[in-house]
Amino acid sequence: MKIVSISGEDVISPLGGVRKPGVDLFDKCEAYDEPDRAQALGIYPFFRPIEEMDGAEVICEGKRVIMVGANNYLGLANDPRVVEAGIAATRKYGLGCTGSRFLSGNLIIHEQLEEALASYMRKDAALLFSTGYFANQGALTSLFEDGDYILCDKENHASLIDGCRMSPAKIIPFAHNSPESLRRRLTRLPREAGKMVVIDGVFSMSGDIARLPELMTVAAEFGAKFYVDEAHALGVIGADGRGAAHHFGVANDADLIMGTFSKSLGCMGGFLAGDEDVIKFIRHKARCFIFTASPPPAVAGGVLCSLRIMQEEQWRMVKLWENTHRMHREFRAAGFHIGTTETPIVPILVGDEQKAFFFAQKLFDNGVFATPAIYPAVRRGQAIIRTSYMATHTPGQLDHVLEAFERIARELRIFEDDAYQRAAREIPQRHHHTPVPKPGRSAAI
Ligand SMILES: Cc1ncc(COP(=O)(O)O)c(C=O)c1O
C-alpha cells in the first residue's frame, strides 16, 4: 500500500506510524513483473509443485514426468531404507530439537553422524550444519580477520560467494579452474597475510571437475590453505564417492572439505571435515551454527543410513557413470553443446533466456522435468537447460529424454539462433568423454 502523498509531505499510515516522503521501499516489488510475464506466456519454469516422487519419475501438475533436474545422483532420496531410518530417528527423538547444538539441541545421533562423516572423509573431525549453504557460510565467516584473503574461483557456487562476501577477508577472484590465474593473484598478495583458496570440487553448472592437484601445488607455494566444496562430488567421484580431493588422491592437502546431504545423500544439511582444532574453532565461532536450531533427528538418522548404503552398494556409482557417459556421448553426437562437463551434470546450451524457458516448458509437456539456468547462475546470454543424471534412470527413460531434446531443439531451431551461436563460440567444449570411474577402493576415476 502506498503511504506517501503526491505532494510529498509526511503522511499518517493507516497503522498509525508517521512515514517520511520518498520512494516506497516496496515500489520495486510492484514493478517486478518478470515472473508474471513468463507466466502469461505459459513458460514460467520455477516452483513447479511436485505431488508424488516415484524413483526417477515424479508426478507434477497431474503429469508423470522423468526427473532430470534434481541432484539425487544415487537415487537414495526415496530409498525405503533411508526413509525408514528417518522415521525411526523421529520416533526416538521427536520431530525437532527446539534448540541449538550449542545449548540444548545436541543429540547423540548428531555426534554419531559427525564421527561417521569424519571417518568417511578420512579427517580428524566433522561438524554438521542445517544446510550446505550454512556450512560454507560458517567456515568462511568464522576463520578470517581483516587483512586476510580468500581466493575464489569465478564459477564457484553462490553459497561460497555469499560466505566470502560475509567474511572480513578481501575476496580475490581467479579465472575458472586456472592454476596460472591463481598464481598471478597470489604473487601480488603480501606473503605474511592469511590466505585460503576456495573452490567447488565439481562445478554445479558446468559439471567441470576442479584441477585440484595443480591448484593445490600453487596454493602450497604461497602458504595458502585450501578449501574444497564437495557438494556435487560426493557419491559421484573418488573412491567410495568421497569426492574430488580423494579422486585425485590429494585429500591430505585439502585443509577443509565441505559436503552436503542435499544431493547424493538424498536429504538436506551439510558438513565440514578437517583437523580437530579447526573444527573446534568453527564449532564455537560460526554464528550460523550457534544461532540456529540443530538439524532434525530424521536428517541425522536418514543420512547415517544413506552414507552406509552409498559405500556398500557400489553398483550405484557404476550405473551413475554408465548413464553419464551415455548422455555425454549421445548429446554430443546429436550436436548439442554441453561444454566441458565431465560429470553427471550435463548443461545443454540454449543461449537466449526466453528460448530456454520455452525449451523447458516443451520438455515438461513432453514428459521431461528439467529447469533452465539463467543469469546470475550462468553468464548473461549463456542460458542452459541444466540436466543431471541418476544411477536409477533406466535406459528407456534416457531414450525418452534424448528423443525429447532432439525434437524440441529442431522445433525451436536452437542451433540456428544467433544467441546460441555467440554463446557456443564463447564457451569451451570438450569433444571426448571422460574415462569410466572405478568406484571401489581406487583413488582415481
Ligand atoms: C556447490 C554447492 N555448494 C553448496 C550448495 C548448498 O548446499 P545445500 O543445498 O545443502 O544448502 C550447493 C547447492 O546447490 C552447491 O551446488
Q: What is the CATH number of the domain that holds 265?
A: 3.40.640.10
Q: Cα of 132 to ligand 1 centre, how many Å?
A: 5
For the chain, give the longest Cα–Cα distance. 74
Of 277, 312, 347, the position where a domain reaches its end is 312
8 in a domain, yes or no?
no
Out of 263, 328, 337, 355, the active site residue is 263
Using 50, 70 and 90 to split pLDDT, how confident is the model at 45? very high
- Same structural domain, 323 and 233: no
- Same structural domain, 216 and 110: yes
Provide the pLDDT for residue 6.
47
Give the rounded percent of residues in the chain with a pLDDT score beyond 90: 89
2 in a domain, yes or no?
no
- Same structural domain, 254 and 326: no
Q: Cα of 40 to ligand 1 centre, how many Å?
A: 31
Find the mean pLDDT for residues 74-98. 97
* pLDDT for residue 257 is more than 80: yes
Q: State the sign of the Cα–Cα–Cα–Cα dihedral 59, 65, 68, 69.
A: negative
* pLDDT for residue 22 is more than 80: no
Q: Cα of 128 to ligand 1 centre, how many Å?
A: 14
- Same structural domain, 149 and 272: yes
Candidates 117, 136, 157, 272: which one to mutate for ligand 1, based on the most atoms within 8 Å of Cβ? 157
Q: Cα of 287 to ligand 1 centre, how many Å?
A: 19
Alpha-carbon gap, residue 146 to 134, rounded angstroms: 21
CATH of the domain at 348: 3.90.1150.10
Provide the pLDDT for residue 2.
40
pTM: 0.93
Nearest C-alpha neighbor of 445 from the set 345, 326, 322, 362: 322
- Same structural domain, 115 and 201: yes
143 in a domain, yes or no?
yes
362 in active site: no
Candidates 260, 292, 343: which one to mutate for ligand 1, based on the most atoms within 8 Å of Cβ? 260
Find the mean pLDDT for residues 91-116. 97
Candidates 262, 271, 272, 303: which one to mutate for ligand 1, based on the most atoms within 8 Å of Cβ? 262
248 in a domain, yes or no?
yes
Of 294, 312, 330, the position where a domain reaches its end is 312
Find the mean pLDDT for residues 396-412. 98
Give the rounded percent of residues in the chain with a pLDDT score beyond 70: 92
- Same structural domain, 282 and 326: no
Cα separations (Å) of 7 from 3, 4, 13, 22, 24? 12, 8, 15, 10, 14
Alpha-carbon gap, residue 127 to 114, rounded angstroms: 6
Q: Cα of 232 to ligand 1 centre, how many Å?
A: 8
Give the ligand 1 atom nearest the CA of 203. Answer: 1
Residue nearest to atom 10 of ligand 1 (CA): 132
Q: Cα of 133 to ligand 1 centre, how many Å?
A: 6
129 in a domain, yes or no?
yes
The cell numbers describing 267, all together, are 536429504
- Same structural domain, 48 and 128: no
Find the mean pLDDT for residues 61-66. 96
Number of domains making up the chain: 2
204 in active site: yes
- Same structural domain, 282 and 400: no
238 in a domain, yes or no?
yes
Q: Cα of 261 to ligand 1 centre, how many Å?
A: 9
263 in active site: yes
Give the ligand 1 atom nearest the CA of 270. Answer: 10
Candidates 159, 208, 227, 388: which one to mutate for ligand 1, based on the most atoms within 8 Å of Cβ? 159
Q: Cα of 283 to ligand 1 centre, how many Å?
A: 20
Residue nearest to atom 12 of ligand 1 (CA): 231
- Same structural domain, 253 and 187: yes
432 in a domain, yes or no?
no
Out of 110, 232, 362, 393, the active site residue is 232
Of 277, 297, 312, the position where a domain reaches its end is 312
Provide the pLDDT for residue 11.
47
Find the mean pLDDT for residues 47-56. 95
Provide the pLDDT for residue 437.
58
Residue nearest to atom 8 of ligand 1 (CA): 132
6 in a domain, yes or no?
no
Domain that holds residue 327: 40-67+315-426
Q: Which residues line ligand 1 (CB under 6 A)?
A: 131-133, 136, 157, 159, 200, 204, 229, 231-232, 260, 262, 268, 270
Find the mean pLDDT for residues 41-50. 95
Using 50, 70 and 90 to split pLDDT, how confident is the model at 3? very low
Residue nearest to atom 16 of ligand 1 (CA): 204
Mean pLDDT for the chain overall: 93
Provide the pLDDT for residue 435.
56
- Same structural domain, 382 and 277: no
Find the mean pLDDT for residues 289-302. 98
Residue nearest to atom 3 of ligand 1 (CA): 231
- Same structural domain, 308 and 324: no
- Same structural domain, 281 and 151: yes
